Amino acid sequence: MQQAGFITIATLAITTGLWIAGRSTQILTAELWPWHGPAQITALWLLNLVALTLVAGTRARALEPLFGGLDKAIRLHRRLGGAALIVMLVHILLLVPPRIGTAVGEVYNPFHPNSPFWIDVVASWLVLPLALAIWWRKLPHQVWLWLHRTLGVLLILACAHSLTVAATVRDYEPLRFWMILLVGIGLAAIAYRLLMFRRMGPRHGYTVEAVEPRGEHVVDLQLRPRDRRMSFDPGAFVYVSVRGSAAVPDELHPFSISSSPAERDLRLSIRKVGDWTKRLPALQPGTAVDVYGPFGGFTPHAFVGQRRLVLIGAGIGITPFLSMLRFELVNNDFRRVWLYYSVRDKGDAPYDHELADLSQKADSWVDYMLWESKARGRLTAATVHEEASPFGDYAVMLCGTNAFIRDMRTQFRALGLPDSRIIAEEFQLR
Ligand SMILES: Cc1cc2nc3c(=O)[nH]c(=O)nc-3n(C[C@H](O)[C@H](O)[C@H](O)COP(=O)(O)OP(=O)(O)OC[C@H]3O[C@@H](n4cnc5c(N)ncnc54)[C@H](O)[C@@H]3O)c2cc1C
């Protein structure tokens, strides 16, 4: 993520530097200040940020090391997209003052007879309500996806506007080259994501071996490789899509793997929360499933030097730790592990027996605790710290909802644990 921050700042600095170079003869004149210059530079920053947003959302495995995993890349995509929207808003506002009393309507009313860029103006008007809509988390995922893509198209239109309108871009060759390069990279990224990922992405052919209910709300999807099995680190996640099933639509959904990398079959442990996951029990053995991945940087291998690990899974957030513990059966890289499975009550803990059993058999020393919040209140970092700290420094891995992770991260930071020793997997990417 640090590299990604560096790339963002470096590209924005190059864009700004080239704009200053292109405007060197006017830079100190009143023509550019206080409105025209900032309006031009924000248009270029918008283009720059949109290109990076598209790159961060690519789902390309080759780019994972740059971002520290696909999950982090998608979170960066979200932040850069938000920043692009703010910059766009600032750009639009900067256009107002110089036109007061004369041509405000020409710029902001797409149907004004003198409006020269009406497509861009319509795009600008649509972007803001769309952005607000996708911030609303309760939207059904497919509707959200559709709105999100429309927003992307509108931002790309806004960028096309920046390229054609800003005089500096047209007239100054190095800046034009740089901007076209950024746009090209951004468009290649979106073309890969939308048109090529399904065919050229890291796809592995599996078939459904069994769909096993684990209590009322969870199912285990047991998948058998059709050809070669996928190799992955414990803690990785995949995107899956079911092909040719009348019961389950062909959509891509992310899930952490809950089986060990050493096992032949791939197991996904899935909570039935919405449209797609609630249909999974109807899947028939033998149905083809495309598995894309593995993705993510959420693995104990990220802490190779750290001998003491605290693992905390909330609810279905336990799945990557199931994979890690199953891997412990064949892994003799001894570690001291504290594993917490935080649930409301025992009825909400379908993997309790499996974890208790695995922690006994594991090669590492694993202290396993089922934490029932109904009876004991919320699990806190202070409770965990009390157990683990007498044994020296430890690193923490957290998995669950965004709110759970935010809360736990804040508590561990307050206890003095540095950020470099906390890694997390959020089950909500938006
Ligand atoms: C890295 C990662 C690992 C995950 N691992 C697991 C796991 O091991 N077990 C498990 O039960 N769940 C896991 N999830 C959550 C799982 O992806 C969603 O619960 C599932 O996609 C819901 O689909 P739905 O249509 O049934 O529900 P919906 O009601 O449509 O969606 C519920 C929520 O799930 C998210 N979601 C839905 N569809 C997608 C999608 N295609 N891509 C991204 N997010 C989506 C959205 O935030 C949405 O608000 C994981 C999510 C992520 C990001």
Q: Write out the residue limits of the CATH 2.40.30.10 domain(s) in the chain.
A: 203-295
The superfamily CATH assigns to domain 203-295 is Translation factors (2.40.30.10)
Q: Contact at 8 Å (CB) between 197 and 191?
A: no
| Gap from CA of 67 to ligand 1 centroid (Å) | 21
* Distance set, CA 141 to CA 56, 73, 144, 217, 253 (Å): 20, 19, 5, 19, 10
Considering only CA atoms, give the Rg of the chain: 25
At CB < 8 A and 24+ separation, what contacts does 21-24 make?
A: 21/172, 21/174, 21/175, 22/168, 22/169, 22/171, 22/172, 22/174, 22/175, 23/168, 23/172
Which of 347, 317, 338, 344 has the alpha carbon at shortest distance from 391?
338
Any idea which of 25-29, 191-195, 382-386 has the lowest mean pLDDT?
Answer: 25-29
Per-residue confidence (pLDDT) for residue 205, from 0 to 100 = 97
Q: What is the pLDDT of residues 50-92, one digit of tens each?
A: 999 999 999 888 888 888 888 889 889 989 999 998 998 898 8
Residue, of 14 and 24, whose pLDDT is higher: 14
- Look at residue 105 and tell me whether its pLDDT is greater than 90: no
Ligand 1 pocket, 108 CB below 6 A? no
Q: What is the secondary structure of 191-245 as a DSSP string?
A: HIIIIIHHHHSSEEEEEEEEEEEETTTEEEEEEEESSSPPP--TT-EEEEEEES-
Strands 218-225 and 266-271: antiparallel
Q: What is the mean pLDDT of residues 160-172?
A: 76
| Residue range(s) occupied by CATH 1.20.120 in the chain | 2-199
Strand 237-243 to strand 336-343: parallel, antiparallel, or no bridges (unpaired)? unpaired
Number of residues assigned to the chain: 430
| The pLDDT of residue 169 is above 90 | no
For residue 310, report the distance from its CA to the centre of ligand 1, in Å.
25
Would you state the pLDDT for residue 100?
66
CA-nearest residue for atom 21, ligand 1, is 253
Using a 6 Å cutoff on CB, does residue 249 contact ligand 1?
Answer: no
Q: Is 71 in the pocket of ligand 1 (CB under 6 A)?
A: yes
Place of tokens 């644990």: 417
Q: What count of other Cβ atoms lies within 10 Å of the Cβ of residue 118?
A: 13
pLDDT at 160: 77
pLDDT digits (tens, 9 = 90+) for 21-41: 999 888 888 888 898 899 899
Question: In the prediction, which pLDDT does 154 show?
Answer: 81
Report whether pLDDT(277) > 80.
yes
User: What is the model's pLDDT at position 389?
Assistant: 85
The alpha carbon of 215 and the centre of ligand 1 are apart by a number of angstroms equal to 19
Nearest alpha-carbon partner for 284 in 207, 220, 216, 215: 207
Chain-wide mean pLDDT for the chain?
A: 90
If one compares 102 and 384, the residue with the highest pLDDT of the two is: 384
Atom of ligand 1 at shortest distance to CA of 278?
26
Confidence of residue 318 (pLDDT cuts 50, 70, 90): very high
269 by Cβ neighbours in 10 Å (0-12 / 13-18 / 19+) ranks as buried
Under CATH, which architecture does the 2-199 domain have?
Answer: Up-down Bundle (1.20)
Average pLDDT on 403-430 reads 92
| 194, 146 contact by CB (below 8 A) | no
Tell me, using a 6 A CB cutoff, whether residue 254 lines ligand 1.
Answer: yes
Give the pLDDT mean for 340-347. Answer: 97
State what percent of residues in the chain have pLDDT above 70.
Answer: 95
- Mean pLDDT score, 291-297: 94
Task: Say how many CA atoms lie within 13 Å of 209 toward its Cβ.
Answer: 13
Which range, of 241-245, 257-261, 265-269, 404-408, averages the lowest pLDDT? Answer: 241-245
pLDDT at 240 > cutoff 90: yes
Does residue 166 have a pLDDT over 70?
Answer: no
What per-residue confidence (pLDDT) applies to 140?
Answer: 82
pLDDT band at 101; cut points 50, 70, 90? low
User: Is the pLDDT score of 117 beyond 60?
Assistant: no
Q: Whose CA is nearest to atom 15 of ligand 1?
A: 427
Average pLDDT over residues 337-351: 97
pLDDT (average), residues 323-327: 96
b/e per residue 384-404 (b: at least 16 CB within 10 A)? bbeebeeeeebbbbbbbeeeb
Residue 73 beta carbon below 6 angstroms from any ligand 1 atom: no
Q: In this structure, which CATH number among 3.40.50.720, 1.10.510.10, 3.40.50.80, 3.30.1300.10 belongs to the domain 302-426?
A: 3.40.50.80
Task: Tell me the CA–centroid distance for residue 430 and ligand 1, in Å.
Answer: 10
Q: What is the mean pLDDT of residues 328-341?
A: 91
Flag whether pLDDT at 2 surpasses 80.
no
Q: Which of 414, 425, 339 is nearest to 381 (CA)?
A: 414
User: Please, which pLDDT band fits residue 363 given cuts at 50, 70 and 90?
Assistant: confident
Q: Is the CB of 270 under 6 A from ligand 1?
A: yes
pLDDT surpasses 90 at 171: no
- Residue 407 CA to ligand 1 center (angstroms) comes to 20
Pocket probe for ligand 1: among 145, 198, 427, 430, the residue whose CB has the most ligand atoms within 8 Å is: 427
Where along the chain do the CATH 3.40.50.80 domains lie?
A: 302-426
- What pLDDT score was predicted for residue 344? 97
